[in-house]
Structure 1
Amino acid sequence: MFSLKILIVEDDPVSALLLQRALEKNKHEILGIADSGEKALDVLSQKHADIVMMDINLAGELDGIKTTEIINEIYGIPVVYLSASSDAETLNKVVGTNPSAYVIKPFNIRELNMVIELAIYKDRKEKELQKLNNELEEKVKQRTKELYNANIELTKALEKEREINELKSRIVLNVSHGFKTPLTSILSSAQLMQIYAEKDHPMKQKIAKHAVKIENSVRALNNLLTSVLFFGKADANKIEFKPKKMFLGAFVQEVLDTVNAGIENEVKIKSELVNLPKVITSDSELLYQIFENLLSNGVKYSKNGQEVIFKLEYADNKLIGSVKDYGVGIPVEEQYQLFERFFRAKNVGIVEGSGLGLSIVKKCLDVLNGQISFESNPKNGTTFRVEIPVS
């Protein structure tokens, strides 16, 4: 662990002293202890800090949240919130200030050290990303100026470049968000599990609950990484059709087991398997991407207690599959965008997703010479139907 210059903002002298000792034990330099937001800003105007440990409730006119907003605007220093409360109201107040981390009192030294390292790492990566974005914007401006007086073909080339830059920006936005949400959940749940484990009375149910949250978050992160890597291969024309013999029943069960393991909203999958041969020849990885994404989407956008109907049959050397849900459906005016990368309909609400699933399905079907169609109405659900040649 590297040594950092840290400012403590805490109006409780005992808590401030304990925090100072914990930080000094980890070889950090304490610039000072401020018991109000005004004093904290005064210290920062005279001394450089690497990180600020900020209590939410402070004496004076500036509370921890308002003080953090000012620090973000003037100094751009990472701030770690300190609070004895983890209720939803408190979390909603601090989320708008983009804190680097959130520590629940009481904390232990190991936990504190881990949070500080993550906060510094997050701050550095965000600044690196901002620098890269600024450089990219500057290059785009320069290129635009050079092409200002160019002919029609150069103007078309500029438009194409703009589209590419927009796609890059969307990739950065979606991937960054996709990383942040699961990792934040992992960290928060791990901290809560530590607190529960230190209690004298049993907390098995709560520990199990947060363990499930960790597992689901990691699964979501892995799925996002898999999707991004898939399109990396697709853009490099490295997706190949690799047919081999496969046991169809085992394959279907694997897909269902994977999707069922990730269900969080009590949706049930009802399967109808018709005339399926024991063995077929096809690319199992591409088939897996198709059916796993379609089923996962059907489950994700259904309400609690609803069913997703999965039907798969074999006819005329084709696998004919359909996935029908009774969920939110797709707005008619947005359906033409359905297979575009990163597209998410306006009616998905707070349901998380990267907008890559259906574009992956379409890409796999193109490689397999398959076809896809769908019918959808808002609030009445969606049915996807695929036909895939196999031998």
Structure 2
Amino acid sequence: MARQERPVDPTAGPVQALAYELRKLRAEAGNPTYRQLARSAGYGATTLSEAAGGARLPTLEVLLAYVGACGGDPDEWRRRWHEAAARARPTEPVRQAAGERDGHPEEGGGAGAPGPDRPAVAPSAGRQPGSGTPRPRRRWVVPVVAVAAAIGTVVTVVDLPDDVPTAPGAARCPAVPDGTAFTAVTYGGGAHVRAGAARDASVLTTIPPDCTVGFTGFCVGEKVYDNTGGMPDVRWFKVAGGGVVSSAVLHGNPPRDLRASDCRQGRPTSTGLELSVVTGAGRSGAVTLRATGRDLYVVGFTTSAGDPASPGERTWRQVALADVRDPAVGASARLDALPGPSARGPVVLVAAACLGGDSPTGLVRARQVRPEDPREAVPVTLDQRQQAEAARSACRYPSRG
């Protein structure tokens, strides 16, 4: 039987209140075990458990991964985290949980010590991105525990010399070879290059943080939730020379015209998409958009109420970027109200298959309704330009404008 969590008093402070709410979110998600959450969150079970432990404030990256795995709203929880961090007393630890210091979000946590699956990585503070050149020396702030209550907390500033040696065998940023299709930058936790597009694939090498890496293409693989917004992503970028890296741990996207190719442990791209529109009861004007199809991973929804006299020019407004957790159910989004009847004409509702944020596949389905009678949603064909614009809007990363 699973060990019971230590109770958390939500009135004891902002850190404890946040932990209490995280536990509530997990309960609302069906109370999955932390080991189950770890499979989709990309952090280890211990790290996720400590995030809701109430002893210290988790990092924003861990919180968003926890929330994403539970199906929570990343924007709402990002706001909650910042509020808790602002209200936390200086004596309340606001630091990384165990397993994060040297770990990597797509790796799933761990103790952080170098080993067969976690090679030693040189600290990013000593390198410039994309090179092995050390930066100028950095001043580190080291807290010293007070020996008397009257002294309080003392802060000591320690200067580190320019020539601090890195650990033997520490990794360095790889050179970007000529002819790469695109580049991306590794997050602050670094990135594992794996033999296949899955987190259980063997690690070929580890790329340090803040490195610009050249890629030859990408494939579709296991879904990983990124550690900036908790959004799902199934793209794995192909490293020149072999191996793949999860897009969820990189800053950057492939060119829009680049299509997915095959790779080891890869998965098929979306090949089918259907959109249905369900009208709410009464006259509220609310509708629910539901998308189903084969090999769907992420679905974006968007809407437009453009002037019918100018069909090529429409303003699209994203409704949601939704995770497909159960292929049999698909993804859905609620639109609380349609624009009222006016000379602007009918409203176009769109579902687009995505591979992640800012990554449309080009698979789009559209239906058209009239605000005065949304019960009849008829299929509509968009021209090529409208399809591209609708797909970009639907699959847009929610934090970007």
* Fold shared, TM-score > 0.5 on shorter chain: no
Normalized per residue, the structure richer in strand is 2
Which is richer in helix?
A: 1
- With structure 1 as the length reference, what TM-score do the two structures score? 0.22
Give the TM-score normalised by the residue count of structure 2: 0.21
Which gives a bigger RCO, structure 1 or 2 (Cα 8 Å, sep 6+)?
2
